[in-house]
Structure 1
């Protein structure tokens, strides 16, 4: 399979695409455009951005093509062995899951505009980009020559976004033999020494916790905008991050650290440790699952926790981040009717929009809080001998490494195996009902000298208690696994 992608008029934001399908053995074929993308569990109907489409034989004759669903077409091959699909796609949105082209930048998410041929989703895919001569490419895909990329199958292709520009900036670092690449596009002058130091710290801490890294290299693809923005999406050996404004202030840098640490942990949790309902992805329809509180909740919890353990955040900065998602849960959805599992399932319905009052909870915010409750409970029970780290490590060994999907029952069984007891209270109060979370949360927080206060006006405040024994427990909870040498810091 081959894709040729060009931009004849950058100001129009249209991609001009030729999709070549070789070795055809049937008189009819069907091509499918994805209806959604990994990392965003909602139907997005990318086909709405296709302006025109046609099918051409190898000799240049037009072939009959008929749309049979909103994003699926049937082609009468007229016994041709090779067919080309030519079409245009409007790429004019800049978020972490979209595509955008202009005179200065090509930002491509292949999931938006690449078809697969029914029955051949596991074929190899090759990409040729008609880029301006001065453009550099940032992508997790392997190079197959100048402006040519190769993916082992459609799944890898559409899980590998790309930035291309003359003005891309880059810095590299290595942790435990893994090569990390940080790419920046935008009007800013990165402090690479600081960025490398902090990224190396949290990368090393995450790998130390999980034991090893799923990939040989990893790309942080950053698009920095002049206006306020915050969005990141995980991919198999990369992440696409869009942030702003590009004022190079501390707020932008804190956002960069937070989203980067979060997305890196996804390299284990959801990219490889994946719910069985998502393995393999079915791009034609909703893939319902109840465990997004594991995929996103645990990852949200760990994103900031690793920054503290790695010494990137101090105690004050970490407590501030904890308070942020406490406020977002308790001030916005503490009295919601749905359980966390129900809201995970309903992501496909309205999980990424405000929705009606008091209906759903956030799998990110409440998910992070219940992950912390579980972590602190396991630590208190075992004097830090086991923790949520242990749960994630077992998930990685049993499900992530062999790349087999886990069920919600698998997750429950592993948690109770680590706890060495039934945890009916946890599943009942935190996961499967809409019980208020305040009591369970403060029980957990008291172990490490923290306490959440709810004021009569609904505001939330997280307080640090000056208790010597609790501080010892807090230090053990937040302790660093890996200390960098002076040479590594430099």
Structure 2
């Protein structure tokens, strides 16, 4: 499949799309636009942003078609072997999973606007961008060499799955610096009204990246891109991708607060390069873009990642104890002050992401797989460390998950995760699964039991608010230092 994107009037926010594809000659063909995007497990119905749609043969003759679902078209192809699909897409949203076009820059998530046919999902794709010659393209996809060519640039993908997992920013004002960890080159891109402190950024990014790579035993890609879009308005959003992450932050004048957000979301999204991009629930292999892909282990995909995102900032020395405890207290406050009495378990809320996981929802119903999931991961990590006097930890669990499910890319089940955890822990951990994962049992007792071993305690005040308190206990402080400095 070959896609061509252009916009004669970017102020209209419409991107014109032409998709040329070879097909098996037949009377009928079904064309699909994704109904959702990886990294956000809810139907988003991108077809609502299409204003005009048509299908043609290579001589320009229109082919008859009709919709058979909200985002699937049945085409009478008259036995042709090549077709061209033409449509426009309204790109007027700026978040980490959207698309946007203006006179200043292009921001495209191909999953929003690239149609496909089932027979072409595993075949190579090209994405041609008709953009000004002075635009640079920030993207994880390689660019096709075009010596002397002007007016367009072409990106290449191994298949449709790689194409739609590769967002891009194209601009004449985008800034970039690189750093290296082992054999991987990491690109940090910045688009927006900002003057980055590159020396500080590269030093801190190198630290947390090296810590993650060392623990996991290598990085999955030879190149990786942090795509940062900095807005003048408040925003905080990141999405993981195969060889990149798309991050939208703001406001651009927030100073140290903006930088702390940049570190937190970047470390989180980098850990996703292992956890969910490749250590993936079997229900998501392969992605079915036409409907919900239900799974019960998002507390692993997002909860464990949330826990490690900030922990790696502390381990690497980017955060000190105070900064790390401040972030840890945020998870506690968001869970216990908002969802302490929620009726759902982590597995139930994982499943129901597709129902209302990204909305506030009705009172006392669901929990956050991010916040409670991170606290459950903390309980598990400290439990394993306590069982083995820091000789084993949650690190060993995730390394085994990587070796058994990520590298072979076979997908795991809840039972697979459970088995690996208990193998590392050296005991069944029935209490953990029953109280922390599979039920709505309050988490306070198990959390404080774990925290007390590392000299911390969560205090609940009479008004329901919570606070993380450090305990003056010499032995516990020693255990805390081992935990935070990865003495394992």
TM-score by length of 1: 0.97
Number of residues of Structure 1 aligned to a counterpart in Structure 2? 482
1:155 aligns with 2:161: yes
The CA deviation at 1:393 is: 0.4
Q: Which residue is equivalent to 2:119?
A: 119
Match of 1:141 in 2: 141
2:418 counterpart SS class: helix
Partner of residue 70, structure 1: 70
Shift of 1:23: 4.5
Q: How does 1:246-261 map to 2 (within 5 A)?
A: 246-261=252-267
Q: Could you tell me how far apart the structure 2 residues matched to 1:54 and 1:97 are?
A: 26
Q: Does 2:286 correspond to 1:280?
A: yes
Aligned residue among 369, 374, 377 for 2:383: 377
Shift of 1:27: 2.2
SS at structure 2 position matched to 1:376? helix
Match of 1:462 among 448, 468, 477: 468
Partner-residue secondary structure (3-state), 2:283: helix
Cα deviation, residue 24, structure 1: 3.5
Matched, 1:301 2:341: no
In the alignment, structure 1 residue 345 sits paired with structure 2 residue 378: no
1:112-143 superposed Cα distances (whole Å, 9 cap, x missing partner)? 01011122211111111100111110000111
Residue pair 1:39, 1:234 contacting (<8 A) in 2 also = yes
- Deviation for aligned residue 1:145: 2.8
Asked if the contact 1:4–1:19 (Cα under 8 Å) also holds between the matched residues in 2, the reply is: yes
CA separation in 1, counterparts of 2:126 and 2:273? 24
Residue 271 of structure 1, CA deviation: 0.2
Give the aligned partner of residue 431 of structure 1.
437
CA contact (8 A) 2:243 2:273 kept: yes
Deviating above 4 A after TM superposition, structure 1's stretches of 4 or more consecutive aligned residues are: none
Matched-pair contact (CA < 8 Å) for 2:335–2:371: yes
1:387-431 per-position Cα deviation (integer Å, ceiling 9, x unaligned): 100100000000000001000000001111111111110001100
Q: 2:408 aligns with which of 399, 402, 407?
A: 402
In structure 2, the residue matched to 1:27 is 27
Give runs of aligned pairs for residues 76-91 of structure 1, distance below 5 A. 76-91=76-91
CA apart distance, 1:481: 7.5
Question: For 1:480 and 1:198, how far apart are their aligned partners in 2?
Answer: 18
Q: In structure 1, how many angstroms separate the alpha carbons of the residues matched to 2:268 and 2:171?
A: 26
Q: Distance in 1 between matches of 2:486 and 2:416?
A: 29
Q: Take 2:423 and 2:386, find their aligned partners in 1: how far apart are those partners?
A: 16
Aligned equivalents of 2:417, 2:259: Cα separation in 1: 34
CA contact (8 A) 2:283 2:294 kept: yes
**Do the aligned partners of 1:205 and 1:480 also contact (CA within 8 Å) in 2?**
no
CA deviation digits over 1:318-352, x for unaligned, max 9? 00000001000000001000011100000000000
Q: How far apart are 1:187 and its partner, in Å?
A: 0.3
Unaligned runs of 5+ in 2: 147-152
Cα displacement (A) at 1:76: 1.1
Residue correspondence of structure 1 range 90-129 to structure 2 within 5 A: 90-129=90-129
SS in 2 for 1:143: coil
1:36 and 1:23 mapped to 2: Cα distance? 24
For residues 480 and 391 of structure 1, the distance between their equivalents in structure 2, rounded to whole angstroms, comes to: 14
SS at match of 1:62: coil
Task: Determine the C-alpha separation between the residues in 1 that align with 2:369 and 2:23.
Answer: 45
Q: CA deviation at 1:467?
A: 1.1
Give the Cα separation in 1 of the matches to 2:349 and 2:299. 9
Residue 232 of structure 2: aligned partner: 226
Instruction: Give the gaps of 5 or more residues in structure 1.
Output: 483-490
Residues 1:265 and 2:271 aligned together: yes
State whether residues 19 and 86 of structure 2, in contact with CA within 8 Å, keep that contact through their aligned partners in structure 1.
yes
Residue in structure 2 matched with residue 215 of structure 1 by the alignment: 221
Deviation of the 1:29 alpha carbon: 1.2
Q: Residue 393 of structure 1 is aligned with which of 390, 399, 409?
A: 399
User: 1:194 Cα shift?
Assistant: 0.1
Q: Is the 8 A contact 2:310 2:327 kept in 1?
A: yes
Partner of 1:473: 479
Mapped pair 1:416 → 2:419: no
Per-residue CA deviation, residues 149-208 of structure 1 (Å, 9 max, x unaligned), is: 111111000000000000000000000111000000000100000000000000000000
Helix, strand or coil at the partner of 2:92: coil
C-alpha displacement at 1:370, in angstroms? Answer: 0.3
Q: Is the 8 A contact 1:100 1:106 kept in 2?
A: yes
Aligned to 2:451: 445
Aligned to 1:6: 6
RMSD: 1.0
TM-score (norm 2): 0.98
* Cα deviation digits, residues 78-131 of structure 1 (max 9, x gap): 222211000000000000000000000100000001011122211111111100
- In structure 2, C-alpha distance between the alignment counterparts of 1:191 and 1:442, rounded to whole Å: 39
The equivalent of 2:363 in structure 1 is 357
2: CA distance between counterparts of 1:18 and 1:99?
16
**Secondary structure in 2 aligned to 1:296?**
helix
Q: Deviations over 1:343-379 (max 9, x none)?
A: 0000000000000000000000000000000000110
Q: Please point out which of 203, 212, 218 is paired with 2:209.
A: 203
For residues 296 and 126 of structure 2, what CA distance do their matches in structure 1 show? 35
